[in-house]
Amino acid sequence: MSTAVSAPGKVFLAGGYLVLDRAYTALVFALSARVHVLVHDIDTSSGVDLAEIVVQSPQFRDATWNYGYHLAEDQGGVAVIQLQGGSPAASSKNSFVETALLYALTYISSVLPKTTIKPSKVTILADNDYYSNTSSSTLPSYPRFSDFAVRLQDAHKTGLGSSAALVTAFTGAILSHYLPTSIFSLDTEEGRSKLHNLAQVAHCAAQGKVGSGFDIATAVYGTCVYRRFSPSILSSLGEPGSQGFSTRVRNIVDDTDPSVKWDTEISKNGVTIPEGMALVMCDVDCGSQTVSMVKKVLEWRKANSEDAKQLWDELQISNEILADNLRKGCMLELEEAFVAIRALIRDMSEASGVPIEPKEQTELLDAVTRDVEGVAGGVVPGAGGYDAIVLLVKDDEKTMGEINAFCKKWSEEKKGNVKLLNAKGELEGARKEDAVAYSK
């Protein structure tokens, strides 16, 4: 038996930094670039009781992790232990995979307490746009997916939300594989809610902090306007293995504890990409240290609360105007909305001393919107810095060709590496896939 689930990456079009505060919202688009997770049963000999799950990511070097698992005492959930074996890099941890597996198996054990979790093999495949460094070869058994030719820890991310897409697809695949559809199905609103809650918990735990959760919400639900959950929701969980942990995980995933209710707001109403247009990404192949940037901006906000509030309020209004203009699809008004947002972001960048829109990115955005006729505008998405920029463009061959030519010329003249990614904005979130489609 095989199960496959995919989840999209994200591009944070509007609401960077604002999303950290429940008083504000964010506009986040799903991307056609997806992370795919396949789960296969492992056949064991008659009478052999094997408690092992093997996880592999064959696009990277030394990327196989073997995990043993067993029920902890006192309803402490399922303990997951990395085993020696598999690749030479078995001593290296993959915290996102290991944490997602622990929480998923713990939830499964809480709703099917008498069921033995059978051993399985999990394969993770990422669409090519998640990483800048790809070799010229492709894996012989996975022709759709490039060989990234490096170890996972050495890969250059493009900033499309790979960890959130991974945790969401991984969690969704494990739940879909082990649970009957009467308990969990991605085709139902209840199922998507369970996946959202469990993936948020696992992703926050793996990061070692409570994030705003916009990337997980987008990976589950697709393009949306997002208002974050209260951080206090996760504080009641306690540590894995602690007494009653399994019950607390089930309650928070099923949202059945009246004292701890999810207050996330996720709206898909009216959020769209204008007909005949597309959201595209241009990778600049250097990436940003998002955590340190966020910390500095929050320190500035705390020290300058009145000025920061005025700036954030103005940004919220500008973001809402952009969302409204996306629904209307008027090119001129969209251009004006992007200009207004970027001006405010540069104000925040200068006031906080954080390179949210660095001068190199300002120069790039100004040039592409000026020199390529079909570009309505763009931003440095999310926390900013040197991640891939996002552009709203006419979705036709002429415009795409001109953007490619612009990127090539820019890279040659500026001695950088700017390229148009294949990923485009889309509306759909996590979904079950046909496992047979990956057989080649």
What pLDDT tens digit does each residue of the chain (440 aa) get? 899 999 999 998 999 999 999 999 999 999 999 999 999 998 765 555 668 999 999 999 999 999 999 999 999 999 999 997 655 555 588 999 999 999 999 999 999 978 788 999 999 999 998 887 655 555 555 567 888 889 998 888 878 889 999 999 999 999 999 999 999 999 999 999 999 999 999 999 999 887 899 999 999 999 999 999 999 999 889 999 999 999 999 999 999 998 899 999 999 988 899 999 999 999 886 555 567 888 999 999 999 999 999 999 999 999 999 999 999 988 899 999 999 999 999 999 999 999 999 998 999 999 999 999 999 999 999 888 887 899 999 999 999 999 999 999 999 887 678 999 999 999 999 999 999 988 87
**Which residues are paired to 157 by β-bridges?**
131
- Token pair listed for 214: 């916009």
> Which residue range is the domain that position 331 belongs to?
277-426
Which residue in 20, 18, 133, 9 sits closest to 390, CA to CA? 9
Residue 431 lies in a domain: no
Q: How many CB atoms lie within 10 A of CB 237?
A: 18
DSSP codes, 217-270: HHHHH-SEEEEPPPTHHHHTS--TTSTTHHHHHHHHHHT--TTS----EEE-TT
Per-residue pLDDT, 415: 65
Residue 318 lies in a domain: yes
- Domain endpoint, select from 209, 243, 268: 268
| Residue 114 to residue 367: CA distance in whole angstroms | 62
Q: Is 371 exposed, middle or buried (0-12, 13-18, 19+ CB in 10 A)?
A: middle
Per-residue pLDDT, 439: 80
- Domain endpoint, select from 268, 291, 326: 268
DSSP codes, 35-94: EEEEEEE----TT----EEEEE-TTSBT-EEEEEEEEPSTT--EEEEEES-SSGGGGS--
Which residue in 60, 57, 164, 183 sits closest to 115, CA to CA? 183
Please list, in sequence order, all residues whose beta carbon lies within 8 angstroms of the beta carbon of residue 325, skipping any fewer than 6 positions away. 333, 334, 337
What are phi and psi for residue 130, nearest 5 degrees? Answer: -70, -20
CATH number of the domain encompassing residue 322: 3.30.70.890
| Residue 280 to residue 389: CA distance in whole angstroms | 8
What are phi and psi for residue 179, nearest 5 degrees? Answer: -105, 145
Based on the domain organization, do 232 and 134 belong to the same domain? yes
Instruction: Give the DSSP letter of residue 113.
Output: T
Based on the domain organization, do 228 and 372 belong to the same domain? no
Based on the domain organization, do 185 and 55 belong to the same domain? yes
Residue 438 lies in a domain: no
Based on the domain organization, do 308 and 182 belong to the same domain? no
- Domain endpoint, select from 227, 242, 268: 268
Which residue in 391, 12, 377 sits closest to 223, CA to CA? 12
The amino acid at 297: V
**Which residues are paired to 394 by β-bridges?**
277
CB 15 within 8 A of CB 27: yes
Based on the domain organization, do 203 and 68 belong to the same domain? yes
Per-residue pLDDT, 211: 83
Instruction: Give the DSSP letter of residue 138.
Output: B
Residue 412 lies in a domain: yes
Torsion-angle region of residue 5: left (phi > 0), alpha (psi -120 to 50) or beta? beta
Per-residue pLDDT, 417: 84
CB 4 within 8 A of CB 432: yes
CB 109 within 8 A of CB 77: yes
Based on the domain organization, do 264 and 340 belong to the same domain? no
CA distances from 23 to 124, 163, 211, 318 (A): 36, 26, 16, 15
Output the pTM of the full model: 0.92
CB 19 within 8 A of CB 381: no
Number of domains in the chain: 2
Based on the domain organization, do 207 and 334 belong to the same domain? no
Per-residue pLDDT, 42: 87
Based on the domain organization, do 283 and 200 belong to the same domain? no
CB 282 within 8 A of CB 437: no
